[in-house]
Amino acid sequence: MTDTAPVVEPTLPDGWELVVGLEVHCELSTATKLFCGCRNRFGDDPNTNVCPVCLGLPGSLPVLNGSAVDYAMRLGLALNCTVNPAVFARKNYFYPDMPKDYQVTQYDLPTSTDGHLELPDGTVVGIERAHIEEDTGKSTHVGGSGRIHDATHSLVDYNRAGIPLVEIVSRPDIRTVESARAYASELRAILTSIDVSDAKMEEGSMRVDANVSVRPIGSDELRTRCEVKNINSIRSLGRAIEYEANRHIDLYDSGQTPRQETRHWDEANGRSTSGRSKEDSEDYRYFPEPDLVPLDPTGAQVDAIAEAMPPLPSARRHALADAAGLEAGSVALVVERGQDELALAAISAGADGGIVIKHLENNLADGTGELTAESFAALAAMEADGRLSATQAKTVLTDLVASGGDPTSIAAAHGFEAMDTGELDAILDRLIADNPDEWGRFVDGDRKVQGFFVGQIMKATKGQADGKVVNMLMQQRAAG
Amino acid sequence: MSSPISRDDVAHVARLARLELTPDELDRFTGQLAAVLDHAADVEALDVTDVEPTHHPYPLRNVQRADVVVPSCDRDEVLAEAPASEDGRFRVPPVLGEEA
Ligand SMILES: [Zn+2]
C-alpha cells in the first residue's frame, strides 16, 4: 500500500471478524499541569517547566488543577457518559519517565463511565470509561541506532510529566478498519470542538492504542487481544490493525494462539514487534492516592457544564443533513471543516442543499474567504435555474471567495450571459441541417452521438451554454 | 488451611518492588505476609453492606486550585541534583523493555 493508494476497505480472510477497542490518551489544553503550577506547553526547552511536585521530590504535595477537572467532565458529557464521584489512585511501576515511580490516575472510580460516540455513517461505539491521569516525561534513547534495544543511555525531559490527560477507553465494538479510523477522527473532532485538547497526533497530544483480536464470524467470544502502541497517525492506525488481525489469523490457521502482549507498530516496515507480556493490573498494585481527596461534583456543576456545551459534530451533521435533505454521512466533510454554519445560512437563504454541499466539498477546501451566505444562495439559485453552468458557477464562486461581491454582476463581468433557448434553438437547427445522418441516429436512440452535438453547441457558444439545458432541448426536439 | 500467599507470590511482589530478597527472607516474609492476609480475611468476613467506603480519612472533597502558571525551577539548579545530565536533560541508564 502506498501513500497514493485509494482507501479501500481491507478485508480479512473469509470467515473472520475483527474485534477492536481503542484507548485514546489526550492531553488537556489547560494553562498548567495537573498537580502543580508548571506551564503546560509543547515544544519548550527540555526541563524548563519542572518543579518539586512534577519531579517527584520528597516532601512535595500535589494540588489538583480545577480546570483539568472541568475539561474532563465536559469531555465525559460530550461522550454521553455518566459523570461520577471519582477517586485518584497510584499506579506503581518503575520507569525513568515517571520520577515518582508511580503515576496518579483513576482506577476503580473514574470520572466518566458508560458513554457512546456516533460515527458519521451512523455506527455507534460504546465508551467504557474516560478517566483523568497525569502524563509521563519524554525519554530519548541515545547511542546504537537510537532504538531502545541497543541504546547506550536515555535522556529524559520532564516538561511533559504531570500534564493532564484523559484516557478514553472504548468498548470492543469496532468491527472494521474504516470504523477504527472514523472513531479516531470523530474523537479528534469532538476534542477540538469542545476546546479541551488540540488533539494533534503528530505532537503526541492525542495518542491512540489499539486492542486487536479476531474471531470467527457468528461467534460472540472475545479472544486473546494484543495492544498495539506507537501509532502516530490515523492512517497508521488502519495499517496497524490490519496487520495485527492478519497476524492473529495466521497463528490460528497454523494451530497456534496469540500471546496476550503489548506490541509496537513499526510504520517504516509496516509490521508490529513484540513488546513485553502485558502485566496483569494487579502488578501495578493500585491503591487510593492518599495525597488527594475524592472528587464529588454537584449535580448543579455537571448541569452547568452540560448547558455550556457547544453543538457536537454528530448533532451538527444531523442538523445540516436535515436542512440539505441529504444523509448525515455525506455532509461529514463540511462539518469537519467547520463550514456547516455557512452552509446552513445559505440554505435558509433559499439555496439548494445539494448545490451548497457540492461546492463546499469540491471547490471550497481551502476556505470560504469573502463568501457570504447571501451571495452563496444567490449563486446557487443562478446555477439551479440554468442561468449559470456548473463550470461558470465555479468561476463566479472563486471570485466571491477572493473578493466578495454580487454573483449577478460577477457573472456579467465574465460575459456569462444566460443563453436564451431561442438562440440555442437556432444553433441546434443549423447543426441538424448540417449533420442529418448524426441527428437521425440520435433520434433513433443512439446516445453516443449526443456528445457530438453538445460539443458542437459548446463550441458555437464558447462554452456559455448550460449542458443540462442543451440536453433537455435535444430530448424535446427528438421526441417532437 | 492452606497459606493465603505462596513463596512464589512473595518473590513476584518483591521483584515488582525491585527488592532483592535472600531465600531466608523469602521464607520469613511469606509467613509474615500470610498472617497479615489472614487478618484481612477476618475483616473481609464482616458484613459491611451499609457502611460507606472510606477513600480518604479526611471528610474533604474537591480540593482544587486555580489554573494559573507559577514560575518553575531553574533548570541548572534542578539538573545539578541529578547523578548525570546531558543536553538539558536527565541522563539515565539504558532502559530494557517497553518504550513509553
Ligand atoms: Zn511542576
Q: Measured between CB atoms, which of B13, B62, B78 is closest to A47? A: B78
* Residues A350 and A446 grouped into a single domain: no
* Residues A302 and A349 grouped into a single domain: no
Dist. CA A432–CA A474, nearest whole Å: 10
| A68 vs B contacts (CB less than 8 Å) | 67
Which chain B residue lies closest to A294 (C-alpha atoms)? B61
User: CB distance B73–A51 less than 8 Å?
Assistant: yes
Regarding beta strands B64-65 and A64-65, do their DSSP bridges make them parallel or antiparallel, or are they unpaired? parallel
Q: pLDDT tens digits for A381-427?
A: 999 888 888 888 999 999 999 999 999 889 988 888 766 677 788 88
How many CB atoms sit inside 10 A of residue A475's CB?
12
User: CB distance B70–A157 less than 8 Å?
Assistant: no
| Residue where the block lists cell 453552468 | A389
User: CB distance A157–B89 less than 8 Å?
Assistant: yes
Which chain A residue lies closest to B91 (C-alpha atoms)? A155
User: CB distance A155–B95 less than 8 Å?
Assistant: no
Q: pLDDT tens digits for A332-379?
A: 989 988 899 999 999 999 999 999 999 999 999 999 999 999 999 999
What percent of chain A has pLDDT above 90?
A: 70
Of the residues A392, A414, A436, the one at which a domain ends: A414
Inter-residue contact A275 to A264 (CB < 8 Å): yes
Dist. CA B13–CA A160, nearest whole Å: 29
Residue A357 contacts by C-beta under 8 Å, 6 or more apart in sequence? A324, A326, A330, A331, A334, A343
* Residues A296 and A399 grouped into a single domain: no
CA of B76 vs chain A CAs: smallest distance (Å): 9
* Residues A428 and A410 grouped into a single domain: no
If pLDDT is split at 50, 70 and 90, which confidence band does A149 have? low
The grid cell for A138 is 519524554
Polymer length of chain B: 100
| ipTM of predicted complex | 0.89
* pLDDT for the residue numbered A207: 96
* pLDDT for the residue numbered A451: 86
Would A8 be classed as within a structural domain? no
User: CB distance B75–A50 less than 8 Å?
Assistant: yes
How many CB atoms sit inside 10 A of residue A459's CB?
11
If pLDDT is split at 50, 70 and 90, which confidence band does A4 have? very low
Q: What is the interface size between A and B, counted as CB pairs within 8 Å? A: 146
User: H or E stretch including A24?
Assistant: strand A16-27
Dist. CA A228–CA A151, nearest whole Å: 22
CA of B46 vs chain A CAs: smallest distance (Å): 21
Residues of B contacting chain A (CB within 8 angstroms): 13, 16, 18, 55-56, 58, 60-70, 72-73, 75, 78-79, 86-100
Domains (range + CATH), chain B: 7-44 (1.10.20)
What is the total count of domains within chain A?
A: 3
Would A2 be classed as within a structural domain? no
Helices (H), A194-273: 234-253
If pLDDT is split at 50, 70 and 90, which confidence band does A79 have? very high
Average the pLDDT over B14-33 and give the result: 94
How many CB atoms sit inside 10 A of residue A18's CB?
24
Dist. CA A184–CA A193, nearest whole Å: 14
Would A201 be classed as within a structural domain? yes
| A232 vs B contacts (CB less than 8 Å) | none
| A38 vs B contacts (CB less than 8 Å) | 69-70, 72
Which of A47, A108, A158 is best to mutate for the B interface (most B CBs within 10 A)? Answer: A47
* Residues A328 and A265 grouped into a single domain: no
* Residues A37 and A166 grouped into a single domain: yes
| A229 vs B contacts (CB less than 8 Å) | 98
* Residues A230 and A130 grouped into a single domain: yes
Dist. CA A440–CA B60, nearest whole Å: 92
* Residues A41 and A109 grouped into a single domain: yes
If pLDDT is split at 50, 70 and 90, which confidence band does A14 have? confident
Q: pLDDT tens digits for A15-49?
A: 999 999 999 999 999 999 999 999 999 999 999 99
Inter-residue contact A64 to A21 (CB < 8 Å): no
User: CB distance A156–B90 less than 8 Å?
Assistant: yes
Flag whether pLDDT at B97 surpasses 70: no
DSSP bridge pairs for A214: A18
Three-state DSSP class for residue A104: strand
* Residues A430 and A400 grouped into a single domain: no
User: In this structure, what CATH number is given to the domain that contains residue A442?
Assistant: 1.10.10.410
The grid cell for A48 is 524548563
Of the residues A307, A337, A357, the one at which a domain ends: A307
Would A203 be classed as within a structural domain? yes
Integer CA distances (angstroms), A185 to A81, A225, A339, A474, in order: 19, 23, 17, 47
Give the Å distance between the CA of A49 and the centre of ligand 1.
6
Burial A323-340 (b: 16+ CB within 10 A, else e): bbebebebbbebbbbebb
* Residues A297 and A342 grouped into a single domain: no
Flag whether pLDDT at A275 surpasses 60: yes
Give the Å distance between the CA of B69 and the centre of ligand 1.
10
* pLDDT for the residue numbered A467: 76
| B68 vs A contacts (CB less than 8 Å) | 31-32, 37
Flag whether pLDDT at B53 surpasses 90: no
Give the Å distance between the CA of A293 and the centre of ligand 1.
19
Give the Å distance between the CA of A103 and the centre of ligand 1.
14
Give the Å distance between the CA of A291 and the centre of ligand 1.
16
Neighbour order of strands in the sheet with A124-134: A82-83, A112-118, A124-134, A164-170, A16-27, A206-216, A226-231, A261-266, A271-277
| A71 vs B contacts (CB less than 8 Å) | none
* Residues A143 and A45 grouped into a single domain: yes
| A36 vs B contacts (CB less than 8 Å) | 70
Q: What share of chain A is helix, strand, coil (3-state, %, to 5)?
A: 40, 20, 40
* pLDDT for the residue numbered A182: 95
Residue B27 or A7, more confident: B27
Which of A51, A154, A285, A301 is best to mutate for the B interface (most B CBs within 10 A)? Answer: A154
Q: pLDDT tens digits for A190-213?
A: 999 999 999 999 899 999 999 999
Residue B90 or A274, more confident: B90
Would A9 be classed as within a structural domain? no
Average the pLDDT over A436-444 and give the result: 90
pTM: 0.82
* Residues A223 and A372 grouped into a single domain: no
| B97 vs A contacts (CB less than 8 Å) | 148, 275-276
Could you give the angle at which helices A353-363 and A313-324 cross, rounded to 10 degrees? Answer: 130
Q: Measured between CB atoms, which of B16, B62, B91 is closest to A155? A: B91
For residue A339, which of A326, A318, A356, A327 has the smallest C-alpha distance? A356
Would A465 be classed as within a structural domain? yes
Q: What is the mean pLDDT of chain A?
A: 91
Which of B8, B52, B73, B81 is best to mutate for the A interface (most A CBs within 10 A)? Answer: B73
Domain residues for the domain of A394 are 313-414
Average the pLDDT over B44-53 and give the result: 90
| A63 vs B contacts (CB less than 8 Å) | 63-65
Of the residues A307, A334, A361, the one at which a domain ends: A307
* pLDDT for the residue numbered A5: 43
Would A6 be classed as within a structural domain? no
User: CB distance A38–B72 less than 8 Å?
Assistant: yes
DSSP assigned state of A329: G
Would A3 be classed as within a structural domain? no
User: CB distance A156–B63 less than 8 Å?
Assistant: no
Flag whether pLDDT at A459 surpasses 50: yes
Average the pLDDT over B83-94 and give the result: 94
